Structure 1
Protein backbone atom coordinates (compact mmCIF):
# COMPACT_ATOMS: atom_id res chain seq x y z
CA UNK A 1 0.00 0.00 0.00
CA UNK A 2 1.20 3.51 -0.81
CA UNK A 3 0.29 6.11 1.83
CA UNK A 4 1.43 9.20 -0.04
CA UNK A 5 0.91 10.97 -3.33
CA UNK A 6 4.16 11.61 -5.18
CA UNK A 7 4.40 14.37 -7.79
CA UNK A 8 5.80 13.03 -11.13
CA UNK A 9 8.59 15.60 -11.45
CA UNK A 10 10.04 14.31 -14.72
CA UNK A 11 7.06 15.84 -16.54
CA UNK A 12 8.19 19.37 -15.62
CA UNK A 13 11.59 19.62 -17.30
CA UNK A 14 12.61 18.55 -20.82
CA UNK A 15 15.74 16.40 -21.13
CA UNK A 16 17.51 19.00 -23.28
CA UNK A 17 17.21 21.81 -20.74
CA UNK A 18 20.33 23.59 -19.46
CA UNK A 19 20.50 22.45 -15.84
CA UNK A 20 22.21 24.20 -12.93
CA UNK A 21 25.90 23.45 -12.34
CA UNK A 22 28.87 25.29 -10.86
CA UNK A 23 29.23 27.42 -13.99
CA UNK A 24 25.64 28.69 -13.67
CA UNK A 25 24.73 32.19 -12.54
CA UNK A 26 21.41 32.02 -10.65
CA UNK A 27 19.19 34.98 -9.82
CA UNK A 28 16.21 34.48 -7.49
CA UNK A 29 13.24 36.78 -6.90
CA UNK A 30 10.09 36.42 -4.85
CA UNK A 31 8.48 35.41 -1.60
CA UNK A 32 10.17 34.12 1.55
CA UNK A 33 10.32 30.60 0.06
CA UNK A 34 12.83 32.06 -2.42
CA UNK A 35 15.10 32.64 0.57
CA UNK A 36 14.83 28.93 1.52
CA UNK A 37 16.00 27.77 -1.91
CA UNK A 38 18.62 30.54 -1.99
CA UNK A 39 20.01 29.33 1.35
CA UNK A 40 20.39 25.82 -0.06
CA UNK A 41 22.21 27.12 -3.13
CA UNK A 42 24.42 29.19 -0.84
CA UNK A 43 25.20 26.19 1.38
CA UNK A 44 26.42 24.23 -1.64
CA UNK A 45 28.34 27.29 -2.94
CA UNK A 46 26.55 27.78 -6.25
CA UNK A 47 26.84 31.25 -7.83
CA UNK A 48 23.60 32.97 -6.86
CA UNK A 49 22.00 36.26 -5.93
CA UNK A 50 18.78 36.35 -3.89
CA UNK A 51 16.23 39.16 -3.73
CA UNK A 52 18.40 42.27 -4.25
CA UNK A 53 15.42 44.42 -3.15
CA UNK A 54 14.37 42.05 -0.38
CA UNK A 55 11.41 39.69 -0.31
CA UNK A 56 8.80 40.52 -2.97
CA UNK A 57 5.48 38.75 -2.59
CA UNK A 58 3.51 39.50 -5.75
CA UNK A 59 4.24 39.56 -9.51
CA UNK A 60 3.73 43.32 -9.96
CA UNK A 61 6.54 44.06 -7.49
CA UNK A 62 8.92 41.74 -9.35
CA UNK A 63 7.88 43.18 -12.72
CA UNK A 64 8.49 46.70 -11.42
CA UNK A 65 11.96 45.81 -10.13
CA UNK A 66 12.99 44.15 -13.40
CA UNK A 67 11.57 47.06 -15.43
CA UNK A 68 13.58 49.54 -13.38
CA UNK A 69 16.74 47.42 -13.64
CA UNK A 70 16.50 46.98 -17.42
CA UNK A 71 15.81 50.71 -17.82
CA UNK A 72 18.74 51.46 -15.48
CA UNK A 73 16.64 53.64 -13.21
CA UNK A 74 18.35 56.10 -10.90
CA UNK A 75 16.57 56.42 -7.58
CA UNK A 76 16.04 59.91 -6.17
CA UNK A 77 14.63 61.43 -3.00
CA UNK A 78 11.04 61.41 -4.28
CA UNK A 79 11.25 57.58 -4.54
CA UNK A 80 11.45 57.37 -0.74
CA UNK A 81 9.07 58.03 2.14
CA UNK A 82 9.78 58.87 5.79
CA UNK A 83 7.80 56.95 8.41
CA UNK A 84 8.47 55.92 12.03
CA UNK A 85 11.84 57.70 12.04
CA UNK A 86 13.04 55.69 9.08
CA UNK A 87 13.34 56.09 5.31
CA UNK A 88 11.58 53.51 3.14
CA UNK A 89 11.03 52.75 -0.54
CA UNK A 90 7.69 51.30 -1.64
CA UNK A 91 9.53 49.24 -4.26
CA UNK A 92 11.69 47.42 -1.71
CA UNK A 93 11.29 45.32 1.41
CA UNK A 94 11.70 46.90 4.86
CA UNK A 95 15.03 45.14 5.33
CA UNK A 96 16.55 47.79 3.04
CA UNK A 97 15.02 50.68 5.01
CA UNK A 98 17.43 52.98 6.84
CA UNK A 99 17.43 55.88 9.27
CA UNK A 100 19.70 57.72 6.82
CA UNK A 101 18.11 59.02 3.62
CA UNK A 102 21.45 59.11 1.83
CA UNK A 103 22.30 55.57 2.90
CA UNK A 104 19.01 54.17 1.60
CA UNK A 105 19.43 56.07 -1.67
CA UNK A 106 22.91 54.62 -2.04
CA UNK A 107 21.66 51.08 -1.34
CA UNK A 108 18.79 51.39 -3.84
CA UNK A 109 21.02 52.64 -6.66
CA UNK A 110 23.77 50.15 -5.92
CA UNK A 111 21.29 47.25 -5.87
CA UNK A 112 19.42 48.29 -9.01
CA UNK A 113 22.74 48.54 -10.88
CA UNK A 114 23.87 45.11 -9.66
CA UNK A 115 20.44 43.65 -10.58
CA UNK A 116 20.86 44.91 -14.15
CA UNK A 117 24.27 43.23 -14.42
CA UNK A 118 22.94 40.01 -12.91
CA UNK A 119 19.98 39.96 -15.31
CA UNK A 120 22.41 40.20 -18.25
CA UNK A 121 24.67 37.42 -16.94
CA UNK A 122 22.17 35.00 -15.37
CA UNK A 123 21.86 31.51 -16.79
CA UNK A 124 18.82 30.76 -14.59
CA UNK A 125 16.19 33.06 -13.09
CA UNK A 126 13.98 31.52 -10.40
CA UNK A 127 10.79 33.42 -9.51
CA UNK A 128 8.60 32.34 -6.58
CA UNK A 129 5.20 34.01 -6.47
CA UNK A 130 3.51 34.25 -3.08
CA UNK A 131 0.20 36.05 -3.52
CA UNK A 132 -2.17 37.74 -5.96
CA UNK A 133 -3.21 40.29 -3.33
CA UNK A 134 -1.65 43.73 -3.71
CA UNK A 135 -1.86 47.11 -1.95
CA UNK A 136 -2.31 50.36 -3.83
CA UNK A 137 -1.03 53.55 -2.17
CA UNK A 138 -3.97 55.95 -2.55
CA UNK A 139 -1.85 59.11 -2.56
CA UNK A 140 0.05 58.14 -5.74
CA UNK A 141 -2.31 55.47 -7.14
CA UNK A 142 0.56 52.96 -7.39
CA UNK A 143 0.84 49.32 -6.34
CA UNK A 144 3.55 48.88 -3.71
CA UNK A 145 5.89 46.00 -2.95
CA UNK A 146 5.71 46.61 0.80
CA UNK A 147 3.53 48.82 3.01
CA UNK A 148 6.25 49.39 5.66
CA UNK A 149 3.62 49.39 8.46
CA UNK A 150 2.12 52.65 7.20
CA UNK A 151 -1.58 52.81 8.31
CA UNK A 152 -3.76 50.56 6.14
CA UNK A 153 -6.29 53.34 5.53
CA UNK A 154 -3.73 54.84 3.13
CA UNK A 155 -3.96 51.77 0.86
CA UNK A 156 -6.55 49.96 -1.20
CA UNK A 157 -6.34 46.16 -1.16
CA UNK A 158 -6.87 44.53 -4.57
CA UNK A 159 -6.79 41.01 -6.02
CA UNK A 160 -4.90 40.70 -9.31
CA UNK A 161 -6.84 38.74 -11.90
CA UNK A 162 -5.20 35.84 -13.72
CA UNK A 163 -5.16 38.02 -16.87
CA UNK A 164 -3.30 40.82 -15.04
CA UNK A 165 -0.76 38.32 -13.71
CA UNK A 166 -0.26 36.85 -17.20
CA UNK A 167 0.48 40.36 -18.52
CA UNK A 168 2.95 40.91 -15.69
CA UNK A 169 4.76 37.60 -16.24
CA UNK A 170 4.87 38.14 -20.00
CA UNK A 171 6.39 41.56 -19.37
CA UNK A 172 9.03 40.06 -17.03
CA UNK A 173 10.05 37.46 -19.58
CA UNK A 174 10.12 39.94 -22.49
CA UNK A 175 12.18 42.47 -20.55
CA UNK A 176 14.79 39.92 -19.47
CA UNK A 177 14.94 38.26 -22.90
CA UNK A 178 15.64 41.68 -24.44
CA UNK A 179 19.02 41.74 -22.67
CA UNK A 180 19.58 38.02 -22.03
CA UNK A 181 17.80 35.83 -24.60
CA UNK A 182 19.26 32.49 -23.47
CA UNK A 183 18.47 32.34 -19.75
CA UNK A 184 16.18 29.67 -18.30
CA UNK A 185 13.13 30.85 -16.34
CA UNK A 186 11.82 28.72 -13.50
CA UNK A 187 8.49 29.85 -12.04
CA UNK A 188 7.07 28.37 -8.86
CA UNK A 189 4.32 29.19 -6.36
CA UNK A 190 5.24 29.54 -2.70
CA UNK A 191 3.85 26.81 -0.41
CA UNK A 192 3.43 29.43 2.34
CA UNK A 193 -0.28 30.14 2.90
CA UNK A 194 -1.17 33.81 3.39
CA UNK A 195 -3.92 33.15 5.91
CA UNK A 196 -4.07 36.77 7.08
CA UNK A 197 -5.94 37.37 3.84
CA UNK A 198 -8.45 34.67 4.83
CA UNK A 199 -8.65 30.96 3.99
CA UNK A 200 -10.86 31.33 0.91
CA UNK A 201 -9.02 34.47 -0.15
CA UNK A 202 -5.67 32.65 0.05
CA UNK A 203 -7.00 29.77 -2.05
CA UNK A 204 -8.31 32.22 -4.64
CA UNK A 205 -5.00 34.06 -4.66
CA UNK A 206 -2.98 30.89 -5.26
CA UNK A 207 -5.44 29.78 -7.95
CA UNK A 208 -4.91 33.03 -9.86
CA UNK A 209 -1.13 32.58 -9.67
CA UNK A 210 -1.30 28.97 -10.87
CA UNK A 211 -3.72 29.76 -13.70
CA UNK A 212 -1.50 32.61 -14.90
CA UNK A 213 1.81 30.77 -14.71
CA UNK A 214 0.47 27.84 -16.72
CA UNK A 215 -0.50 30.22 -19.51
CA UNK A 216 3.06 31.54 -19.64
CA UNK A 217 5.27 28.46 -19.28
CA UNK A 218 6.72 27.16 -22.55
CA UNK A 219 9.75 24.84 -22.22
CA UNK A 220 10.75 25.41 -25.86
CA UNK A 221 11.14 29.09 -24.96
CA UNK A 222 13.09 28.28 -21.77
CA UNK A 223 10.13 29.05 -19.46
CA UNK A 224 9.45 26.30 -16.91
CA UNK A 225 7.42 25.48 -13.82
CA UNK A 226 8.50 23.73 -10.62
CA UNK A 227 5.68 22.49 -8.34
CA UNK A 228 6.81 23.66 -4.86
CA UNK A 229 3.20 24.42 -3.90
CA UNK A 230 1.88 21.05 -5.08
CA UNK A 231 4.66 19.13 -3.29
CA UNK A 232 3.73 20.82 0.00
CA UNK A 233 -0.04 20.52 -0.44
CA UNK A 234 -0.36 17.11 -2.12
CA UNK A 235 2.78 15.13 -1.27
CA UNK A 236 3.66 16.26 2.28
CA UNK A 237 0.10 17.40 3.25
CA UNK A 238 0.59 16.99 6.99
CA UNK A 239 0.99 19.53 9.79
CA UNK A 240 4.15 17.79 11.01
CA UNK A 241 5.85 19.44 8.02
CA UNK A 242 4.96 22.94 9.21
CA UNK A 243 6.57 25.29 11.72
CA UNK A 244 4.74 26.10 14.95
CA UNK A 245 2.71 28.80 13.19
CA UNK A 246 1.15 26.04 11.02
CA UNK A 247 1.75 28.26 7.98
CA UNK A 248 5.43 28.10 6.99
CA UNK A 249 7.15 24.85 5.91
CA UNK A 250 9.57 23.58 8.55
CA UNK A 251 13.15 22.50 7.95
CA UNK A 252 12.12 18.94 7.05
CA UNK A 253 9.70 20.21 4.40
CA UNK A 254 12.21 22.69 2.97
CA UNK A 255 14.85 19.94 2.77
CA UNK A 256 12.40 17.63 1.02
CA UNK A 257 11.33 20.24 -1.55
CA UNK A 258 15.00 21.11 -2.11
CA UNK A 259 15.76 17.43 -2.82
CA UNK A 260 12.92 17.37 -5.35
CA UNK A 261 14.22 20.57 -6.96
CA UNK A 262 17.73 19.13 -7.02
CA UNK A 263 16.56 15.94 -8.74
CA UNK A 264 15.01 18.00 -11.55
CA UNK A 265 17.21 21.08 -11.90
CA UNK A 266 20.71 20.37 -10.54
CA UNK A 267 23.10 18.72 -12.99
CA UNK A 268 23.92 15.22 -11.76
CA UNK A 269 27.59 15.78 -12.64
CA UNK A 270 27.78 18.17 -9.67
CA UNK A 271 26.85 15.49 -7.11
CA UNK A 272 30.43 14.58 -6.11
CA UNK A 273 31.40 18.23 -5.64
CA UNK A 274 28.20 18.91 -3.69
CA UNK A 275 28.95 15.96 -1.40
CA UNK A 276 32.48 17.28 -0.79
CA UNK A 277 31.15 20.76 0.01
CA UNK A 278 28.54 19.23 2.33
CA UNK A 279 31.30 17.42 4.24
CA UNK A 280 33.27 20.67 4.61
CA UNK A 281 30.17 22.61 5.73
CA UNK A 282 29.43 19.98 8.40
CA UNK A 283 33.06 20.19 9.49
CA UNK A 284 32.84 23.98 9.81
CA UNK A 285 29.67 23.62 11.91
CA UNK A 286 31.27 21.05 14.21
CA UNK A 287 31.66 22.16 17.85
CA UNK A 288 34.54 20.32 19.55
CA UNK A 289 34.74 19.45 23.23
CA UNK A 290 38.29 20.81 23.35
CA UNK A 291 39.25 23.44 20.76
CA UNK A 292 42.93 23.30 21.67
CA UNK A 293 43.29 19.52 21.47
CA UNK A 294 45.81 18.06 19.02
CA UNK A 295 43.09 15.97 17.40
CA UNK A 296 40.93 19.06 16.70
CA UNK A 297 43.90 21.02 15.34
CA UNK A 298 44.64 18.19 12.90
CA UNK A 299 40.96 18.14 11.92
CA UNK A 300 41.04 21.91 11.20
CA UNK A 301 44.24 21.59 9.19
CA UNK A 302 42.70 18.91 6.94
CA UNK A 303 39.57 21.02 6.57
CA UNK A 304 41.59 24.07 5.56
CA UNK A 305 43.53 22.02 2.99
CA UNK A 306 40.26 20.84 1.44
CA UNK A 307 38.91 24.40 1.28
CA UNK A 308 42.12 25.72 -0.23
CA UNK A 309 42.09 22.99 -2.89
CA UNK A 310 38.49 23.83 -3.87
CA UNK A 311 39.36 27.52 -3.98
CA UNK A 312 42.24 26.89 -6.39
CA UNK A 313 40.62 24.19 -8.54
CA UNK A 314 36.95 25.25 -8.57
CA UNK A 315 37.03 28.91 -7.43
CA UNK A 316 34.76 28.00 -4.50
CA UNK A 317 35.14 30.16 -1.41
CA UNK A 318 33.92 29.35 2.11
Structure 2
Protein backbone atom coordinates (compact mmCIF):
# COMPACT_ATOMS: atom_id res chain seq x y z
CA UNK A 1 0.00 0.00 0.00
CA UNK A 2 1.39 3.38 -1.03
CA UNK A 3 0.44 6.09 1.48
CA UNK A 4 2.14 8.96 -0.34
CA UNK A 5 1.84 10.77 -3.64
CA UNK A 6 5.50 11.29 -4.53
CA UNK A 7 6.82 13.97 -6.82
CA UNK A 8 8.92 12.27 -9.52
CA UNK A 9 12.52 13.50 -9.39
CA UNK A 10 15.58 12.32 -11.26
CA UNK A 11 19.26 13.21 -10.89
CA UNK A 12 20.31 16.34 -12.71
CA UNK A 13 22.82 15.59 -15.45
CA UNK A 14 24.74 18.88 -15.34
CA UNK A 15 25.97 21.27 -12.65
CA UNK A 16 25.89 18.65 -9.90
CA UNK A 17 27.34 19.63 -6.54
CA UNK A 18 30.47 17.94 -5.21
CA UNK A 19 33.22 18.78 -2.73
CA UNK A 20 34.94 21.05 -5.23
CA UNK A 21 31.77 23.09 -5.76
CA UNK A 22 31.24 26.45 -4.10
CA UNK A 23 27.62 27.01 -3.17
CA UNK A 24 26.01 30.35 -2.29
CA UNK A 25 22.69 30.07 -0.45
CA UNK A 26 20.41 33.10 -0.29
CA UNK A 27 16.86 33.74 0.86
CA UNK A 28 14.36 32.77 3.48
CA UNK A 29 14.81 30.77 6.66
CA UNK A 30 14.41 27.54 4.70
CA UNK A 31 17.76 28.26 3.03
CA UNK A 32 19.17 28.28 6.56
CA UNK A 33 17.85 24.73 7.10
CA UNK A 34 19.46 23.44 3.92
CA UNK A 35 22.57 25.52 4.58
CA UNK A 36 23.02 23.72 7.90
CA UNK A 37 23.09 20.43 5.98
CA UNK A 38 25.81 21.76 3.68
CA UNK A 39 27.71 22.85 6.80
CA UNK A 40 27.32 19.47 8.52
CA UNK A 41 28.61 17.59 5.47
CA UNK A 42 31.44 20.12 5.05
CA UNK A 43 30.69 21.44 1.59
CA UNK A 44 32.19 24.77 0.54
CA UNK A 45 29.39 27.27 0.99
CA UNK A 46 28.45 30.82 1.88
CA UNK A 47 25.07 31.18 3.52
CA UNK A 48 22.96 34.35 3.76
CA UNK A 49 25.83 36.83 4.24
CA UNK A 50 23.30 39.56 5.14
CA UNK A 51 21.05 37.21 7.13
CA UNK A 52 17.64 35.90 6.11
CA UNK A 53 16.16 37.74 3.13
CA UNK A 54 12.52 36.98 2.43
CA UNK A 55 11.63 38.66 -0.86
CA UNK A 56 13.46 38.80 -4.22
CA UNK A 57 14.10 42.56 -4.23
CA UNK A 58 16.13 42.23 -1.03
CA UNK A 59 18.23 39.49 -2.63
CA UNK A 60 18.67 41.58 -5.77
CA UNK A 61 19.86 44.50 -3.64
CA UNK A 62 22.48 42.35 -1.92
CA UNK A 63 23.72 40.95 -5.24
CA UNK A 64 23.87 44.43 -6.79
CA UNK A 65 25.80 45.86 -3.86
CA UNK A 66 28.17 42.89 -3.75
CA UNK A 67 28.89 43.02 -7.49
CA UNK A 68 29.50 46.78 -7.26
CA UNK A 69 31.49 46.38 -4.01
CA UNK A 70 29.39 48.97 -2.22
CA UNK A 71 31.02 50.66 0.76
CA UNK A 72 28.49 51.15 3.57
CA UNK A 73 28.71 54.46 5.41
CA UNK A 74 26.84 56.30 8.18
CA UNK A 75 24.25 57.35 5.60
CA UNK A 76 23.19 53.69 5.19
CA UNK A 77 22.44 52.96 8.85
CA UNK A 78 20.19 54.37 11.57
CA UNK A 79 19.80 54.27 15.35
CA UNK A 80 16.67 52.78 16.96
CA UNK A 81 15.99 51.11 20.32
CA UNK A 82 19.59 51.55 21.47
CA UNK A 83 21.06 49.80 18.43
CA UNK A 84 22.32 50.64 14.96
CA UNK A 85 20.50 48.96 12.07
CA UNK A 86 20.65 48.71 8.29
CA UNK A 87 17.53 48.28 6.17
CA UNK A 88 19.50 46.00 3.81
CA UNK A 89 20.33 43.37 6.43
CA UNK A 90 18.64 41.09 8.93
CA UNK A 91 18.35 42.26 12.53
CA UNK A 92 21.01 39.75 13.64
CA UNK A 93 23.54 42.26 12.28
CA UNK A 94 22.17 45.10 14.41
CA UNK A 95 24.78 46.36 16.82
CA UNK A 96 25.19 48.82 19.69
CA UNK A 97 28.37 49.99 17.96
CA UNK A 98 28.01 52.03 14.78
CA UNK A 99 31.59 51.19 13.77
CA UNK A 100 31.18 47.44 14.28
CA UNK A 101 27.97 47.36 12.23
CA UNK A 102 29.63 49.13 9.30
CA UNK A 103 32.68 46.87 9.54
CA UNK A 104 30.50 43.76 9.53
CA UNK A 105 28.41 44.94 6.57
CA UNK A 106 31.47 45.86 4.50
CA UNK A 107 33.29 42.63 5.37
CA UNK A 108 30.25 40.65 4.22
CA UNK A 109 30.01 42.63 0.98
CA UNK A 110 33.64 41.90 0.19
CA UNK A 111 33.38 38.20 0.99
CA UNK A 112 30.18 37.91 -1.05
CA UNK A 113 31.80 39.64 -4.03
CA UNK A 114 34.73 37.23 -3.94
CA UNK A 115 32.52 34.17 -3.47
CA UNK A 116 30.25 35.18 -6.37
CA UNK A 117 33.23 35.17 -8.73
CA UNK A 118 34.08 31.59 -7.72
CA UNK A 119 30.62 30.09 -7.07
CA UNK A 120 29.56 27.03 -9.01
CA UNK A 121 25.95 27.09 -7.77
CA UNK A 122 23.67 29.77 -6.36
CA UNK A 123 20.62 28.44 -4.48
CA UNK A 124 17.88 31.03 -3.97
CA UNK A 125 14.90 30.29 -1.73
CA UNK A 126 12.10 32.82 -2.04
CA UNK A 127 9.84 33.20 0.99
CA UNK A 128 7.23 35.82 0.13
CA UNK A 129 6.10 38.24 -2.57
CA UNK A 130 5.04 40.76 0.09
CA UNK A 131 7.53 43.58 0.53
CA UNK A 132 7.73 46.77 2.59
CA UNK A 133 8.59 50.14 1.05
CA UNK A 134 10.05 52.79 3.35
CA UNK A 135 7.87 55.82 2.67
CA UNK A 136 10.54 58.44 3.39
CA UNK A 137 12.97 57.11 0.77
CA UNK A 138 10.48 55.29 -1.49
CA UNK A 139 12.75 52.22 -1.38
CA UNK A 140 12.01 48.60 -0.50
CA UNK A 141 13.71 47.24 2.62
CA UNK A 142 14.93 43.79 3.55
CA UNK A 143 13.90 44.18 7.19
CA UNK A 144 11.78 46.75 9.06
CA UNK A 145 13.67 46.34 12.38
CA UNK A 146 10.48 46.97 14.38
CA UNK A 147 10.16 50.52 13.12
CA UNK A 148 6.46 51.62 13.35
CA UNK A 149 4.55 50.11 10.44
CA UNK A 150 2.96 53.44 9.53
CA UNK A 151 6.33 54.47 8.09
CA UNK A 152 6.10 51.70 5.48
CA UNK A 153 3.71 50.73 2.72
CA UNK A 154 3.11 47.00 2.31
CA UNK A 155 3.01 45.87 -1.32
CA UNK A 156 2.47 42.58 -3.12
CA UNK A 157 5.12 42.24 -5.82
CA UNK A 158 3.63 41.32 -9.17
CA UNK A 159 4.75 38.31 -11.18
CA UNK A 160 6.37 40.75 -13.63
CA UNK A 161 8.29 42.56 -10.86
CA UNK A 162 9.60 39.29 -9.45
CA UNK A 163 10.53 37.98 -12.89
CA UNK A 164 12.47 41.15 -13.66
CA UNK A 165 14.24 40.93 -10.30
CA UNK A 166 15.28 37.30 -10.84
CA UNK A 167 16.51 38.09 -14.34
CA UNK A 168 18.54 41.00 -12.95
CA UNK A 169 20.07 38.74 -10.28
CA UNK A 170 21.14 36.16 -12.85
CA UNK A 171 22.45 38.75 -15.28
CA UNK A 172 24.50 40.48 -12.58
CA UNK A 173 26.09 37.28 -11.28
CA UNK A 174 26.81 35.92 -14.76
CA UNK A 175 28.51 39.21 -15.68
CA UNK A 176 31.41 38.17 -13.41
CA UNK A 177 30.83 34.39 -13.39
CA UNK A 178 29.34 33.14 -16.69
CA UNK A 179 29.42 29.43 -15.76
CA UNK A 180 27.41 29.65 -12.53
CA UNK A 181 24.23 27.56 -12.18
CA UNK A 182 21.11 28.82 -10.40
CA UNK A 183 18.74 26.64 -8.39
CA UNK A 184 15.49 28.35 -7.41
CA UNK A 185 13.05 27.06 -4.84
CA UNK A 186 10.10 28.38 -2.83
CA UNK A 187 10.08 28.14 0.94
CA UNK A 188 7.39 25.83 2.32
CA UNK A 189 7.04 28.07 5.39
CA UNK A 190 3.63 29.76 5.37
CA UNK A 191 3.60 33.47 6.25
CA UNK A 192 0.18 33.56 7.90
CA UNK A 193 0.83 37.01 9.39
CA UNK A 194 0.00 38.14 5.87
CA UNK A 195 -3.24 36.14 6.06
CA UNK A 196 -3.97 32.67 4.71
CA UNK A 197 -5.38 33.83 1.39
CA UNK A 198 -2.70 36.51 0.97
CA UNK A 199 0.01 33.94 1.69
CA UNK A 200 -1.34 31.66 -1.04
CA UNK A 201 -1.41 34.56 -3.47
CA UNK A 202 2.16 35.45 -2.51
CA UNK A 203 3.48 31.92 -3.07
CA UNK A 204 1.61 31.78 -6.39
CA UNK A 205 3.37 34.94 -7.60
CA UNK A 206 6.75 33.51 -6.61
CA UNK A 207 6.16 30.18 -8.33
CA UNK A 208 4.79 31.80 -11.49
CA UNK A 209 7.74 34.19 -11.70
CA UNK A 210 10.37 31.51 -11.13
CA UNK A 211 8.92 29.44 -13.96
CA UNK A 212 9.29 32.43 -16.24
CA UNK A 213 13.09 32.28 -15.82
CA UNK A 214 13.75 28.54 -15.52
CA UNK A 215 15.77 27.26 -18.47
CA UNK A 216 18.04 24.23 -17.95
CA UNK A 217 19.94 25.03 -21.19
CA UNK A 218 21.02 28.26 -19.47
CA UNK A 219 21.74 26.44 -16.19
CA UNK A 220 18.69 27.85 -14.39
CA UNK A 221 16.78 25.17 -12.48
CA UNK A 222 13.86 24.66 -10.11
CA UNK A 223 13.76 22.38 -7.07
CA UNK A 224 10.26 21.69 -5.70
CA UNK A 225 10.81 21.97 -1.94
CA UNK A 226 7.45 23.78 -1.57
CA UNK A 227 5.62 21.05 -3.50
CA UNK A 228 7.34 18.26 -1.56
CA UNK A 229 6.21 19.80 1.73
CA UNK A 230 2.67 20.48 0.54
CA UNK A 231 2.13 17.12 -1.16
CA UNK A 232 4.52 14.39 -0.04
CA UNK A 233 4.56 15.63 3.58
CA UNK A 234 0.97 16.82 3.86
CA UNK A 235 0.53 16.05 7.55
CA UNK A 236 1.01 18.19 10.65
CA UNK A 237 3.40 15.64 12.15
CA UNK A 238 6.00 17.11 9.79
CA UNK A 239 5.68 20.60 11.28
CA UNK A 240 7.10 22.28 14.36
CA UNK A 241 4.81 23.26 17.22
CA UNK A 242 3.83 26.48 15.45
CA UNK A 243 2.33 24.34 12.66
CA UNK A 244 4.07 26.60 10.12
CA UNK A 245 7.75 25.62 9.95
CA UNK A 246 8.98 22.21 8.78
CA UNK A 247 10.38 20.14 11.65
CA UNK A 248 13.64 18.20 11.61
CA UNK A 249 12.03 15.15 9.99
CA UNK A 250 10.68 17.28 7.14
CA UNK A 251 13.98 19.12 6.64
CA UNK A 252 15.87 15.81 6.55
CA UNK A 253 13.38 14.39 4.07
CA UNK A 254 13.61 17.37 1.70
CA UNK A 255 17.40 17.34 2.04
CA UNK A 256 17.43 13.66 0.99
CA UNK A 257 15.32 14.52 -2.06
CA UNK A 258 17.70 17.38 -2.87
CA UNK A 259 20.68 15.03 -2.59
CA UNK A 260 18.92 12.63 -4.94
CA UNK A 261 18.79 15.32 -7.63
CA UNK A 262 21.87 17.47 -7.10
CA UNK A 263 24.62 15.42 -5.43
CA UNK A 264 26.76 13.04 -7.49
CA UNK A 265 27.10 9.37 -6.53
CA UNK A 266 30.83 9.74 -5.87
CA UNK A 267 30.15 12.67 -3.56
CA UNK A 268 27.59 10.66 -1.59
CA UNK A 269 30.39 8.25 -0.62
CA UNK A 270 32.41 11.13 0.79
CA UNK A 271 29.32 12.41 2.62
CA UNK A 272 29.06 9.04 4.40
CA UNK A 273 32.66 9.40 5.57
CA UNK A 274 32.00 12.94 6.81
CA UNK A 275 28.87 11.74 8.61
CA UNK A 276 30.83 8.98 10.38
CA UNK A 277 33.43 11.49 11.56
CA UNK A 278 30.79 14.00 12.70
CA UNK A 279 29.01 11.31 14.72
CA UNK A 280 32.34 10.23 16.17
CA UNK A 281 33.17 13.80 17.20
CA UNK A 282 29.81 14.15 18.95
CA UNK A 283 30.29 10.88 20.86
CA UNK A 284 30.59 11.33 24.64
CA UNK A 285 32.39 8.42 26.35
CA UNK A 286 31.64 7.08 29.79
CA UNK A 287 35.38 6.85 30.46
CA UNK A 288 37.55 9.11 28.33
CA UNK A 289 40.74 7.49 29.72
CA UNK A 290 39.83 3.92 28.78
CA UNK A 291 41.93 2.00 26.23
CA UNK A 292 38.85 1.43 24.10
CA UNK A 293 38.13 5.15 23.87
CA UNK A 294 41.76 6.01 23.12
CA UNK A 295 41.68 3.49 20.26
CA UNK A 296 38.44 5.06 19.05
CA UNK A 297 40.00 8.54 19.12
CA UNK A 298 43.06 7.33 17.21
CA UNK A 299 40.93 5.72 14.52
CA UNK A 300 38.82 8.86 14.25
CA UNK A 301 41.95 10.99 13.75
CA UNK A 302 43.11 8.60 11.02
CA UNK A 303 39.77 8.95 9.24
CA UNK A 304 39.99 12.75 9.47
CA UNK A 305 43.55 12.76 8.13
CA UNK A 306 42.66 10.50 5.21
CA UNK A 307 39.69 12.65 4.25
CA UNK A 308 41.56 15.95 4.63
CA UNK A 309 44.50 14.69 2.59
CA UNK A 310 42.17 14.55 -0.40
CA UNK A 311 39.98 17.53 0.54
CA UNK A 312 42.16 19.96 2.55
CA UNK A 313 39.40 22.60 2.76
CA UNK A 314 37.42 20.35 5.12
CA UNK A 315 37.90 21.43 8.72
CA UNK A 316 36.16 19.70 11.63
TM-score tier, shorter chain, comes to over 0.9
TM-score w.r.t. the length of structure 2 is 0.98
SS at match of 1:203: helix
Distance (whole Å) between structure 2 residues aligned to residue 208 and residue 291 of structure 1: 56
Counterpart residue number, 1:96: 93
Alignment RMSD: 1.0
> Which of 309, 314, 317 is matched with 2:311 structurally?
314
Counterpart residue number, 1:43: 40
Which is further off, 225-234 or 272-281? 272-281
Contact kept? 2:12, 2:262, Cα under 8 Å: no
Distance (whole Å) between structure 2 residues aligned to residue 272 and residue 3 of structure 1: 30
SS at match of 2:253: helix
TM-score w.r.t. the length of structure 1 is 0.97
Counterpart residue number, 2:6: 6
Per-residue Cα deviation, 1:84-119 (whole angstroms, up to 9, x for no partner): 100110000011111100000001111101111111
The aligned length equals 315
Counterpart residue number, 2:297: 300
SS at match of 1:9: coil
Counterpart residue number, 1:81: 78
Contact kept? 1:310, 1:317, Cα under 8 Å: no
After TM superposition, give the deviation of residue 313 of structure 1 in Å. 2.3
Contact kept? 1:57, 1:131, Cα under 8 Å: yes
Counterpart residue number, 2:137: 140
Distance (whole Å) between structure 2 residues aligned to residue 297 and residue 84 of structure 1: 52
Distance (whole Å) between structure 2 residues aligned to residue 195 and residue 273 of structure 1: 40
Distance (whole Å) between structure 1 residues aligned to residue 283 and residue 49 of structure 2: 31
Distance (whole Å) between structure 1 residues aligned to residue 286 and residue 154 of structure 2: 55
Counterpart residue number, 2:258: 261
- Find out whether 1:112 has 2:106 as its counterpart: no
Distance (whole Å) between structure 2 residues aligned to residue 174 and residue 271 of structure 1: 32
Distance (whole Å) between structure 1 residues aligned to residue 287 and residue 54 of structure 2: 45
Contact kept? 2:12, 2:261, Cα under 8 Å: no
Ranges in structure 1 where 5+ consecutive residues have no aligned partner: none
Query: Which of structure 1's runs of 4+ aligned residues deviate more than 3 A?
Result: none
Ranges in structure 2 where 5+ consecutive residues have no aligned partner: none
